[in-house]
Structure 1
């Protein structure tokens, strides 16, 4: 918050920066409220409610994606459920890692019906992630699984079984839907400079151009940046020529580059310190509690860090609040352990 205040005062447009300061303050106030409010005895019911909501959203997302095919024989749409598809995929990724954690470490109070509930919920939530066609979310799931495998050796056998089913679902969708196959393969075979409307490479190429622009801003203002929430205002100053898709963007589609461009090197350092410290917090909680609720944060945080390589999800309420909930679960899980 201190760095946000400093860089707001030195920004091209200070009032925009101070507006972001208020947003950041409210974000951290909500985090501390969750940390204080969520208690150990709340976790089983909160977990069920969160999972049920995610499963219901997943069913809507899957229906939204396949509806054009069922109705008019068209192509596969992107699941979003009245949200941006990328944001939706990220929120569902974090929810899926909660479900996965409950399957890997059943809580002491779990019954067979409850375990079946999480097993059934996993299917629509994972399917919704796939149908969102959000490649950052795919990488996020991979990062979460790798983190759990690395830091929770006791669940590795169960995790590998889950991974087999996940890969089978991916293989089935890859075979059945050319659109999904094209988007997945575009990550490895991106066509440089392709900004055509229906190309799977367009999103990747736009991001690359935005990252270059962010580096240009950071290079011009390495100490204090251009100012919080100032990217859109100074976009044309640093990129006067027409941008691909003829857009003026307010984000740089990479949280780390975005933070460096807005708040300079101190801002990037503060962000990295925050991320490292929260992961160490989650790791400490899991080692103390060995709880599925603590395992959630251990997997969700690396997933969150990875999706921020292609988005600025930390500044979006859907994903940041989901991560705050995972941290609150982790904090509560150690109480009385």
Structure 2
């Protein structure tokens, strides 16, 4: 298979007499790279095609399965999901949630086959080009209404999903820009695409996307300090311009004022809030407090996935029920793991995060220096994804989770014994 390192051919695409699975695997990955920034349905279909092709290639001995240091940690996390179902009020709903943890296949699908450098970079370019086009369309519609507080959401139903996907795309483009040599013309083109993506992240007006992007950017700054510093200055200028011209932007930034949110903690939902951002912060604080109340009934195994809304409704008052203030998740990855799967699930989640970060860092220290840049990119994407979870249940957002795992696996994958080509 031309995309795998064990093949001696230098061709990127297979000749016509190659196995159908080769072509289907390539087409599935390319289609996902193109569609992931705007369509969850097309993304799932394309990955499904790639999985079918991979199974066929595996059965014919063309590809294999590689073990990693974080496999057992993820299996432990899935086990806590299953165990929580036995303590849930609706066990079948809780058990059904285990399927959502199959998003890790997005990482393995591009990590296991040791993709050739040329094909891996083609996937990155396709993904970046598609994301930039989506950002261009979305930003062009929204710029004229910058002061009205409308959130950019691209082709997704929620601005948070759009903002987080654009943040992941922007980090991937930054990595590609600073880790490779480019002609002046190509640098200008990539820089324009990057400005569109960063603008899209800003105009999503979602603090979780901002926080994740900043976290990933600081990781890249640790690996490429001299190249990232000028970008930080430009991004800061762009953010200040938006802050100056958009009152809503200033309101969203003010939502980071933790003390103002804590001042509302002892009040009720029908209180008058200074801003929408403060109200949003109060809602999250209230949701988390309710989560701690729920976990008292089953601290070890949790209340079970997709059972949170049931327990929330039992704790809610009439005002909350009448105004639809009943949530089915915790708006935080870590609280979601704690409430749904108990302390055992939260420990498993932290264990997985630590091991995958440790795995990436160990690979960067032991591998050839030329490959370290890819590991730094993978770490930046993964840290960005985890930072999303401080304000949102990003783990439960399939569009974001699939993209984050796909990009992490893509940047970790490389042909054994090969040198990357700039």
Matched, 1:162 2:231: yes
Using structure 1 for the length normalisation, give the TM-score. 0.89
Q: What is the alpha-carbon distance in structure 2 between the residues aligned to residue 334 and residue 305 of structure 1?
A: 27
Instruction: Decide whether the 8 Å contact of 1:254 with 1:311 is kept in 2.
Output: yes
Instruction: Decide whether the 8 Å contact of 1:255 with 1:312 is kept in 2.
Output: yes
Unaligned 5+ segments in structure 2 are: 1-77
Instruction: Decide whether the 8 Å contact of 1:85 with 1:132 is kept in 2.
Output: yes
| Richer in helix (by share) | 1
Instruction: Decide whether the 8 Å contact of 1:105 with 1:291 is kept in 2.
Output: no
Q: Deviations over 1:107-140 (max 9, x none)?
A: 5xx4444333321210100000000000111111
Within the candidate set 266, 278, 289, 1:212 is matched to: 289
Any idea what SS the aligned residue of 1:201 has? Answer: helix
Report deviation, 1:237: 1.9
In structure 1, the partner of 2:328 is: 250
Q: 1:290 to 1:251 in 2, by over 3 A?
A: same
Q: Deviations over 1:71-122 (max 9, x none)?
A: xxx7141100132111111111111111111222115xx4444333321210
Matched, 1:48 2:125: yes
Aligned pairs for 1:1-337 (under 5 A) are 1-24=78-101, 26-37=102-113, 39-41=115-117, 42-68=119-145, 75-83=148-156, 84-106=158-180, 110-150=182-222, 152=223, 155-188=224-257, 189-190=260-261, 192=264, 199-243=276-320, 245-287=323-365, 288=367, 289-333=370-414, 335=416, 336-337=418-419
Q: What is the alpha-carbon distance in structure 1 between the residues aligned to residue 90 and residue 122 of structure 2?
A: 45
Comparing 253-262 and 185-194, the one that deviates more: 185-194
Report deviation, 1:35: 2.1
Unaligned 5+ segments in structure 1 are: none
Q: Deviations over 1:249-278 (max 9, x none)?
A: 111101101111011011111111111122
Q: Deviations over 1:180-226 (max 9, x none)?
A: 01111221144625565962212111111111111111233111110
Instruction: Decide whether the 8 Å contact of 2:331 with 2:392 is kept in 1.
Output: yes
Comparing 190-199 and 122-131, the one that deviates more: 190-199
Q: 1:319 to 1:127 in 2, by over 3 A?
A: same
Instruction: Decide whether the 8 Å contact of 1:213 with 1:238 is kept in 2.
Output: yes
Aligned length: 327
Q: 1:19 to 1:331 in 2, by over 3 A?
A: same
Any idea what SS the aligned residue of 2:306 has? Answer: coil
Q: What is the alpha-carbon distance in structure 2 between the residues aligned to residue 305 and residue 77 of structure 1?
A: 26
Runs of 4+ residues deviating >6 angstroms:
none
Question: What value does the CA root-mean-square deviation take over the aligned residues?
Answer: 2.3
Using structure 2 for the length normalisation, give the TM-score. 0.72
Report deviation, 1:159: 1.1
Report deviation, 1:149: 2.9
Instruction: Decide whether the 8 Å contact of 2:87 with 2:298 is kept in 1.
Output: no
Q: 1:94 to 1:334 in 2, by over 3 A?
A: farther
Q: What is the alpha-carbon distance in structure 1 between the residues aligned to residue 120 and residue 372 of structure 2?
A: 11
Q: What is the alpha-carbon distance in structure 2 between the residues aligned to residue 163 and residue 333 of structure 1?
A: 29
Q: What is the alpha-carbon distance in structure 1 between the residues aligned to residue 145 and residue 277 of structure 2?
A: 19
- Structure index of larger Rg: 2
Q: 1:32 to 1:235 in 2, by over 3 A?
A: same
Comparing 280-289 and 269-278, the one that deviates more: 280-289
Instruction: Decide whether the 8 Å contact of 1:215 with 1:261 is kept in 2.
Output: yes
In structure 1, the partner of 2:41 is: none
Any idea what SS the aligned residue of 1:220 has? Answer: coil
